[in-house]
Structures are given as C-alpha cells and as structure tokens.
C-alpha cells in the first residue's frame, strides 16, 4: 500500500503520455484522445468517490522528482503538437520515428483536418494547464529550492504566465477572499470576464510586488534582476522555438495553446474562490476556499484538490495536505466543475445554494456583513444587475 501511495501520483504522467501518443497518431486519434481524457476525469471523479487518505511519505524526494518530470513531459507534448500542425517535418522527426515504429507519422499529420487540429489546441492547452501549471504551482511555492523554482517557472512559461510565481505566492495567498485579490471572483461575476480581469490585474500585481522587492534591495527595476521581465523572456524563447519547429503556423498554434492554458488557470482560480469573502484583518482559514477530495482529480493533480488546507498552511508540500472534510465543497472534481463554470447560467444556479450554505455555516459575523454588502446589486439568479 505504501508503494501504491507513491504510484498514484504517477497517474498524472500516464495521462500526459496518453495525450502524447494521441498527438503522434494524428487525425481522429487526437479528437478521440481529447474525448477519452475528458471522460476519464468526469466519470472517474463521478463514480470513484473521494480520496481521504493521509499517508506518511518517508521518501519525499521521489515525490519531488515526479513533479520535476512534468517539464520534459510538457516539452515533448508541445513539441509533438506543434510539429503535427506544421507544414514540414522539423528535424526529420516524423521520418525518424516512422522508421522506428513502422507507422507513417507524416501522413497521419497531413491527414488531420481543421476539426482535429482544433481538438489538438484544446487538448494541448489542457496539458499546458495541467502538466504545466499544476506542478508549477507546487514547485514555485518552494522558494528556497532553486531547482524546483526554476523548473516551475519554465513550466509556467508555456502559458505566458511566469508572473504567477510572483503574484500567487506573495499576493494571492496574502489577500485571498478579499477585494484586493485579483484571483478571487466576487459573487455574480461572469467567468469570461474574470479570465480577462484576473489576468490583467494579476500581472499588474506581480509587477508591483517585484518592483518593491527590487527597491528594498536597491536594485534597478528594468534589469536582469527583475523576475517578471525574465519570465517574459522565457516565454519569448519558447515562442521562437515554436517558430523554428513549425514556422508561423506552428507559432500561432503554440500561442493559442498557451492562451488556452492560461485561461484554464483563471477558470480554476474562479471556481476555487468564487463568492467567498474574508475580512482583510482576519487569518486565512480552510473555509476561505472551495475544496474537493475526488479521487481521480486528487491523484492526477498532485492534491491540488485539497485547496482549503493549502491556503490555511501554504508552506506544506502537496503530499502533506489533508482532505479537510469540514471545508466548503466544490460541485464535483476539477474538470467537471471547470466545465460547469464555463456555462454561467448553470454555474450560478448550482452555486447559489452552496453560497447560501457557506453564509450560514462558515461565515463569521464580519464576513456576513461583507456578504450583505456584496449581495446588493445581484439579481435572484446571482448575476450582477447593471445600474444606469
């Protein structure tokens, strides 16, 4: 059983390798691969219940290596995805692998019509958001581990979001569930508006945090010392690499995947914190974020699901997070909840009773006053009323 607790977090890598094979196979296999991944998460979370185990890991280095392996896996996935939509055969990759396998990869790539290429964007962007952002979230919290921090930032570069390593750690965790936090969506906000406003305000917040850090150290803001600027340069390197592999088509494809991956992060922020309030002077508690313990999401997303404990004790590594059954719960697992969030009327309908329950069971007196102030201007459906 101890071995299985280590192995369960490798489910993440098996999903990534499956996607890699689907992209290599090309054509209809890409669309079928996307469908399979969606069904795996939705049905798995729906029927396999919760993971409430809290094992003790005597060899945490193994778990760190599992996180580090996300970088070569994501590099392989994105390279193959860009290669398969490009008009040529970069570095003779297709010919070489076709010789080894006996499967004509170049013919399969050329046979992929626009619908399968659209599936490739959705699937690759999903991997940028999971294989990239989720382990990066864990790694960039390890600010004293330079190797983990560097790997985490390179993973974030695939979604043009290295600023996350600054704003999330030093901004979001300080201001979560308050109006000062760009990632916390107030009640009634539309998810698509949140993607835009959280992205813009998150980058502004990251810049301000980094500027203050450099001022304290008496270092110039517009210099190599600026982690935000270095992060933009890292994403630029990947953009150039996509051009080398696939020309303008490959570069445009990579941009689409990166932006989709970034959008997924903001949707996750939206559903992790939607509608929850906290007085700025109060301590962050488990009830200040939505939680879920669904088994497949927990195993394949490095316990990102145990978000309530993560915010209560952000210094803990993912394998020490507890299920927090007393915390407010999401609608379902991560991908299921994400898909619902993308349909605003359904989202608001399902979240309204959950927010009412949060108000009654979890909110302090100060928070109830904040809720009353927040609820002014909302219609009965939970959408914000525009006043003219």
| DSSP, residue by residue, 53-75 | --PPPS-HHHHHHHHHTHHHHHH
Q: What is the pLDDT of residue 384?
A: 52
- What does the alpha-carbon distance between residue 284 and residue 271 come to, in Å, rounded to a whole number? 18
The end-to-end CA distance of the chain, in Å, is 62
**Secondary structure (3-state) at 295:** helix
Judge whether 388 lies within some domain.
no
- What does the alpha-carbon distance between residue 161 and residue 261 come to, in Å, rounded to a whole number? 9
Judge whether 383 lies within some domain.
no
CA angle 256, 150, 123 (to 5 degrees): 25
Q: What is the pLDDT of residue 306?
A: 97
Domain hosting residue 122, numbered range? 2-375
Judge whether 46 lies within some domain.
yes
Q: How many residues does the chain have?
A: 388
> Do residues 197 and 191 touch, judged by C-beta distance below 8 A?
no
**Placement of tokens 């300080």 in the chain:** 174
Whole-angstrom Cα Rg for the chain: 21
The tens-digit pLDDT sequence of the chain (388 residues) is 588 899 999 999 999 999 999 999 999 999 999 999 999 999 999 999 999 999 999 999 999 999 999 999 999 999 999 999 999 999 999 999 999 999 999 999 988 888 999 999 999 999 999 999 999 999 999 999 999 999 999 999 999 999 999 999 999 999 999 999 999 999 999 999 999 999 999 999 999 999 999 999 999 999 999 999 999 999 999 999 999 999 999 999 999 999 999 999 999 999 999 999 999 999 999 999 999 999 999 999 999 999 999 999 999 999 999 999 999 999 999 999 999 999 999 999 999 999 999 999 999 999 999 999 887 656 444 555 433 2
Q: What is the pLDDT of residue 64?
A: 97
> Do residues 296 and 196 touch, judged by C-beta distance below 8 A?
no
Residue 294: φ, ψ to 5°: -55, 135
Q: What is the pLDDT of residue 241?
A: 98
Judge whether 283 lies within some domain.
yes
- Name the residue among 285, 288, 290 with its Cα closest to residue 306: 290
What total number of domains does the chain contain?
A: 1
Helices (H), 141-275: 146-157, 164-167, 173-175, 191-216, 227-273
- Name the residue among 100, 120, 97, 158 with its Cα closest to residue 27: 120
Q: What is the pLDDT of residue 112?
A: 82
The pTM assigned to this predicted structure is 0.94
């Amino acid at each position: 059983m101890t071995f299985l607790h280590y192995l369960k977090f490798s489910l993440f890598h098996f999903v990534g390798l499956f996607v890699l094979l689907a992209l290599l196979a090309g054509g209809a296999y890409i669309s079928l691969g996307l469908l399979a991944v969606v069904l795996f998460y939705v049905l798995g979370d729906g029927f396999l219940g919760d993971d409430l185990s809290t094992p003790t890991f005597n060899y945490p280095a193994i778990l760190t290596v599992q996180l580090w392996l996300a970088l070569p896996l994501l590099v392989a996935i994105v390279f193959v995805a860009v290669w398969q939509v490009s008009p040529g055969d970069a570095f003779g990759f297709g010919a070489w692998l076709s010789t080894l396998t006996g499967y004509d990869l170049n013919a399969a790539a050329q046979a992929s019509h626009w619908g399968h290429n659209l599936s490739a964007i959705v699937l690759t962007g999903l991997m940028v958001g999971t294989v990239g952002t989720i382990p990066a979230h864990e790694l960039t919290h390890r600010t004293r581990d330079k190797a983990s921090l560097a790997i985490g930032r390179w993973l974030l570069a695939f979604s043009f979001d290295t600023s996350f390593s600054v704003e999330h750690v030093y901004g979001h965790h300080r201001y979560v569930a308050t109006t000062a936090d760009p990632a916390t969506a107030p009640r009634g906000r539309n998810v698509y508006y949140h993607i835009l406003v959280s992205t813009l305000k998150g980058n502004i917040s990251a810049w301000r945090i980094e500027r203050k850090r450099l001022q304290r150290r008496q270092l110039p803001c517009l210099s190599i010392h600026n982690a935000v600027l270095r992060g933009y340069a890292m994403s630029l390197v990947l953009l150039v690499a996509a051009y080398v592999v696939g020309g303008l088509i490959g570069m445009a494809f990579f941009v689409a995947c990166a932006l989709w991956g970034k959008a997924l992060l903001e949707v996750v922020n939206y559903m992790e914190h939607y509608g929850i309030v906290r007085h700025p002077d109060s301590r962050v508690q488990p009830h200040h974020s939505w939680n879920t313990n669904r088994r497949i999401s927990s195993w394949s997303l490095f316990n990102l699901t145990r978000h309530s404990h993560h915010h209560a004790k952000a210094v803990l590594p993912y394998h020490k997070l507890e299920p927090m059954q007393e915390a407010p719960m999401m609608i379902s697992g991560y991908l299921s909840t994400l898909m619902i969030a993308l349909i605003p009327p359904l989202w608001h309908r399902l979240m309204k009773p959950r927010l009412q329950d949060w108000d009654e069971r979890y909110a302090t007196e100060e928070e109830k006053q904040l809720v009353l102030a927040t609820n002014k201007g909302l219609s009965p459906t939970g959408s914000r009323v525009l006043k003219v």
